[in-house]
Structure 1
Amino acid sequence: MGYNIKSELKLSIKSVPESQKDIIVQLMQFYLYDFTAYLRIDVTEKGTFPAYPDLYQYWTSDEQKLPFLIWRQDIPVGFALVDRMSSNREADYYMAEFFVLRPYRHNGVGTWAAHELFGRFNGRWKVTQMSTNRPAQSFWRKVIGSYTNGEYREQTHPVRGNISQFFNT
């Protein structure tokens, strides 16, 4: 019998009601800390990273912005912010942000969560990484490649150099 990460780790991914948005706010501090390896982000005078811009829209956008928490049993271990791109010609869905806590990386949690989200929303997807974030580029190429059997295209932004993958689910 093969290893099933979902059942072994008791993973789930759930939409986040407004009553639980503070969990994403707290996890966002770890996410932003990780980003300091690629961007200069200073903490505030209170010792915290600035609030994520327009995060509140994930609870006020009439289903255009979709927040998710990745759970291991009753413990949040990551989040995903997915945008519906209603007027975009490139994609129907955009993975705006995706984060898994360090202790849960490199064991399939992120791959499982991404595949789970891709399966929930059929259509054209876009996922983007910063030009300097090589680990994210490697992760997404592997995840998207395994989900699509290599059927995706990649594009580099002509000015910023950010890498985007485009694929269909």
Structure 2
Amino acid sequence: MEINLVPVTFEDKEVLSNLYQFYNYDFSIFTDQDVNLHGEFEVNIDYFWEGDHRWNPYLIEVSGNLAGFVVVLFENLDTDPDPTHVIYDFMILQKYRRNGIGTAAAAKTLDLFKEAKWKLAQMENNKPAIAFWRKVLKDYTKDNYTECYLSDLQKYIQAFDRRGRTK
């Protein structure tokens, strides 16, 4: 099974926007978000292509089939030439879950920027995401990451730094 990350171009914006419908559907149990009168979740990803180079969306493909997406944000690129890399959004379609594809796609994402500071965040009530990212980071970093809880944001934050290291 071949897993690839494919950069999303402006021409593929509609594909990513469609996948965000599934993402928002899955996430709605944590955010309490409702669909609009057209039966859709409000999705606006135009800012990914409006000259802000901090946003890096990728489609996740498994053997040539769409399996999800990931968005990497260079968090403080506007003020720091060595920005913190953030996995901003990550979604694997349910068909591809629980068989290692999400873990492999997460590792491929982290491998895209080997010399980087990384940060990930999960909502406190999203227990599956917290467990997933803890397992991924424990394996990927050989348990060399930090985690804190921000009560004001009700989020868990994991961080690690790969600069100057080899895997």
Give the TM-score, by structure 1 length: 0.88
Identify which of 2, 6, 13 aligns with 1:14. 6
Distance 1:82 1:118 in 2: 9
Measured in 2, the distance between the counterparts of 1:72 and 1:113 equals: 9
Q: Which residue of 1 aligns with 2:92?
A: 100
Shift of the alpha carbon at 1:62?
Answer: 4.4
> Which of the residues 47, 55, 61 maps onto 1:71?
61
1:166 aligns with 2:127: no
Alignment correspondent of 2:73: 83
Partner of 1:151: 144
- What's the CA shift for 1:138? 0.1
Once residues 168 and 23 of structure 1 are traced to their aligned partners in structure 2, the CA distance between those partners, rounded to angstroms, is 32
| Paired residue secondary structure (1:167) | strand
Question: Please, what TM-score do these two structures have when normalized by structure 2?
Answer: 0.89
RMSD: 1.8
Task: Find the counterpart in structure 1 of residue 116 from structure 2.
Answer: 123
Distance 1:114 1:160 in 2: 24
1:25 is aligned, of 17, 20, 30, to 17
| 1:135 and 2:148 matched | no
Aligned length: 159
What amino acid does structure 2 have at the position aligned with 1:168? D
CA distance in 2, matches of 1:74, 1:117: 17
> Percent of pairs identical after alignment?
32
**Who is 1:4 aligned against?**
none
Report the residue type matching 2:7 in the other structure. Answer: S
Paired residue for 2:40, among 42, 45, 48?
48
Alignment gaps of 5+ in structure 2: 163-167
CA shift for structure 1 position 92:
1.3
**SS of match in other structure, 1:37:** helix
Partner residue, 1:6: none
Task: Please state whether the residue corresponding to 1:97 is helix, strand or coil.
Answer: strand
